[in-house]
Amino acid sequence: MNKLWWLFLALGLQLSAFGLAQYPRTLTDDLGRSVTLKAVPKRLVAMLPSLTETVCAMNACARVVGVDDYSNFPESVGKLPKVGGLYNPNLEAILALKPDLVLVSTYGKLQEPLEKAGVQTFALKVESYDDIARTTRLLGQILDLRGEAERVVSKVQQEVYAVEAKAAATKDRPSVYYEIDPTPYTAGPDSFIGVLIGKARGVNIVPKELGAFPQISPELVVQKNPAVIVVTHPGAADLKKRSGWGGIRAVQTGRGCDFSSRTDDDLLSRPGPRVAQGLQLLVNCFHGK
C-alpha cells in the first residue's frame, strides 16, 4: 500500500510540473465562497498591490494582464493596463482584458458585477503578517504553483528571521509611535505594521484594545512620551508645532524617521514578499542597524 501511495504522489507531482494537474479544482476564498476553477488561470487581473507582488514573486508575472492603480512592483507591471482601485474599479477596462480570473479584495464588492458579467473572481484578504504565508500558499493552489509558493514563503521567512536576528542583538527596546496620517491615525500592536514594530524590537505605545488602525487623541502621544516617532506622510517637520509635542522625547532628541516616500510607505504597508525590507527600515530607524 505504501509503494502504491508513493507512486500516486510521484505521478501527481509530475503532472503538476507539466501543468496537467487535476482540474476542475474547488477552493474556498476569503469570503467563504466555493470557487471552482475549470482550468489553470492564464489571464489574471490583480486588484491589490500585495497580490501583484506575490504572483510575480512566484515567477507568474507573465500571467498578469492588468493590475490596480497602485501596483508598481516589480518594475515590469508598470507597463500593464491599470484598471482602477479598490473602491473605484474600472469594470469596462477589466472586462476588455478578457481575464479568466480576477484576484479581488474582500472589500469593495467588485466580485458581484464581475460575476454577473461572466468573469470569475477569487477574493483574498491580505492584512496581517500571517496572511503573507497563507495567501501565498493559496495563490499556489489557485495557479497550480505550490512549489513556487513554498519557495516564496521559505525565502520570506528566512529574510525576516535574518533581520530579526540583527535587531535582537541590541538591548534597546524603544517606545514607538507610528503615524499614518496627521488626523492622527496610527497602527495598533495587532496590525501588520504593529507586528513589524515588535519584530524590530520596538514597543508600540498604542493600546491593543484601540484596534488595528485607530484614530487617536494627540494627547495620548504626549502622555505616552515615545522615544521614537515614525511618520509615513509629509509633515514630519510640523510635529514639534503641535500642542505639547515639543516636550516629547522623540521630538526633543530628533529620534524619528520620515518614511513618506512612495517606496518606503509601500514596503511598510504591504503584507507581501518584500516584508523583510520594510522590517529593515524599522530596525534601521530604531537601532541604527
Q: The whole model's pTM is what?
A: 0.90
Q: Which residues contact 113 (CB under 8 A, 6 or more apart)?
A: 91
**Gap between the Cα atoms of 156 and 273, Å rounded:** 6
**Measuring CA to CA, how many Å separate 255 from each of 4, 98, 246?**
63, 51, 13
Residue with the larger pLDDT of the pair 237 and 273: 273
164-186: b (≥16 Cβ within 10 Å) or e? bebbeeeeeebbbbbbbeeebeb
171 pLDDT tier (thresholds 50, 70, 90): confident
Q: Is residue 10 pLDDT above 60, yes or no?
A: no
19 pLDDT tier (thresholds 50, 70, 90): very low
**Gap between the Cα atoms of 236 and 256, Å rounded:** 9
Backbone angles phi and psi of 189, in degrees to 5: -60, -30
* Mean of per-residue pLDDT scores for the chain: 93
With both helix axes pointing from N to C terminus, report the angle between 146-168 and 275-287 in degrees, rounded to the nearest 10. Answer: 0
Q: Which residues contact 25 (CB under 8 A, 6 or more apart)?
A: 36, 37, 141, 144
94-149 confidence digits (pLDDT tens): 999 999 999 999 998 899 999 999 999 999 999 999 999 999 999 999 999 999 99
Beta carbons of 39 and 19 less than 8 angstroms apart: no
Phi-psi region of 288 (alpha: psi -120 to 50; beta: other; left: phi over 0): left
The reported pLDDT for the residue numbered 288 is 86
Query: Shortest CA distance to 209 belongs to which of 232, 182, 188, 224?
Result: 188
